[in-house]
Structure 1
Amino acid sequence: MTERLRVLVRPRHGHLRARINKKIEDDIVYIDQTGADRTTQLRKLVTGLFRYERVETHPHVALEMQGYAERLVQEALKYGPNHKPTMELMDFWMNEKDLIHKVFKVFVPRYQKFDAPYTKLHKIPMMNKQKQPMIRGVLEMKGNPYPPVEPHPLQNRNSLANILIAEAKKEYYLRKLKTPEEVNKMPPAENPTATESTPSSA
């Protein structure tokens, strides 16, 4: 009995014919309505995902790819390379057979410390050739060596501006906590532009 997939995947397909126009190996591939062509294109995309660990395509296509990629990783983690049905599944989906070795030697050790899902789908806003807004899907394997698609916020506590602001806040609260009498007794700030008083005439 097949184990339930650990990541939520939409049960309906994404109508690849209307949505795919992807350049693979210097050939523009268009999808028709036949199931064989549809499966062939999905196998190429899934193979590319395991090869490069990040692919860019239409969000609906990426969402459909995610389900197959999650299933392959989940089966490899559970059964290992000595399980015949798992190896048959890998052989079907991997057009480049050296990737089967990569799944068990690279992805399985990596994802033993991860919780499902093992892939992440990003929806990136961008402009098309007609300067119209559109959404592009980026599907990636978690733990890949590339820079993050969504950059982490910068930690700039040690910048000059933040240091000056922190010192100003500290001085403000020190003055605020003192009593009015103590504040009045505090020496005024030095005025570097003040001129020295002239001596009185005899």
Structure 2
Amino acid sequence: MKHRIGFNALSRNAAHRKAMKRNMVTSLFRYERIETTKAKALEVRRMAEKMITRAKNDSVHNRRQIARDISDKAVLNKLFTEIAPLFTERNGGYTRVLKTGNRLGDAAEMVILELVEKPVKKETKKKAAKKD
């Protein structure tokens, strides 16, 4: 009997599942949206929501806890400096899942997992090269 199974194993062993979720969460924070299957998106969403909640309080302990799963320092800094401040007034619900239809090869239900708030891109003004 499979009573009280609290997560989807995604037909993978524990190490593969953990590595895949870490990679997908890192990609989500790097690109602000990813396209994947519905089952994977729902599992990654749980992990991402917990990370954003923890990142709202920028402390050494919280950075180290999240750094266990996000090995890319640039993405880790982006999470704490750009993404988490957008959600200071929001108590959860930081991501949304948009259905995009079924994949052609195996008819798997595909979705887009994205952040509800988008970080504002800093516009860099290019100086025109003067020719004398």
Alignment TM-score, normalising by the size of structure 1: 0.51
Q: What's the % identity of the aligned pairs? A: 26
CA contact (8 A) 1:125 1:136 kept: yes
- Is residue 2:110 matched to residue 1:136? yes
**More displaced 10-residue stretch of structure 1: 53-62 or 120-129:** 120-129
Shift of residue 13, structure 1, vs aligned partner = 2.2
CA contact (8 A) 1:44 1:95 kept: no
Q: Tell me how far apart the structure 1 counterparts of residues 60 and 72 of structure 2 sit (CA, whole Å).
A: 20
Higher normalized contact order (CA 8 Å, seq sep 6+, divided by chain length) = 2
Partner of 1:14: 8
Letter in 1 for 2:9: H
Unaligned runs of 5+ in 1: 1-10, 18-31, 146-202
CA contact (8 A) 1:123 1:137 kept: yes
Partner of 1:98: 74
Unaligned runs of 5+ in 2: 120-132
The counterpart of 2:30, out of the listed 51, 73, 79, is: 51
Shift of residue 115, structure 1, vs aligned partner = 4.2
Letter in 1 for 2:40: V
CA contact (8 A) 2:37 2:111 kept: yes
- Is residue 2:102 matched to residue 1:126? yes
Shift of residue 62, structure 1, vs aligned partner = 0.3
Closer, same or farther in 2 for the Cα pair 1:127/1:72, shift >3 Å?
Answer: closer
Shift of residue 127, structure 1, vs aligned partner = 5.0
Q: Tell me how far apart the structure 2 counterparts of residues 93 and 72 of structure 1 sit (CA, whole Å).
A: 9
Paired positions, count: 116
Instruction: Please list the CA deviations of residues 60-87 of structure 1 after superposition, one character each: whole Å capped at 9, or x if unmatched.
Output: 110000011000000111x31x241x12
- Spell out the pairing of 1:159-174 with structure 2 (5 A cutoff): none
Q: Tell me how far apart the structure 1 counterparts of residues 65 and 105 of structure 2 sit (CA, whole Å).
A: 39
The Cα RMSD (Å) is: 2.2
CA contact (8 A) 1:119 1:141 kept: yes
Closer, same or farther in 2 for the Cα pair 1:134/1:42, shift >3 Å?
Answer: closer
Closer, same or farther in 2 for the Cα pair 1:60/1:143, shift >3 Å?
Answer: same
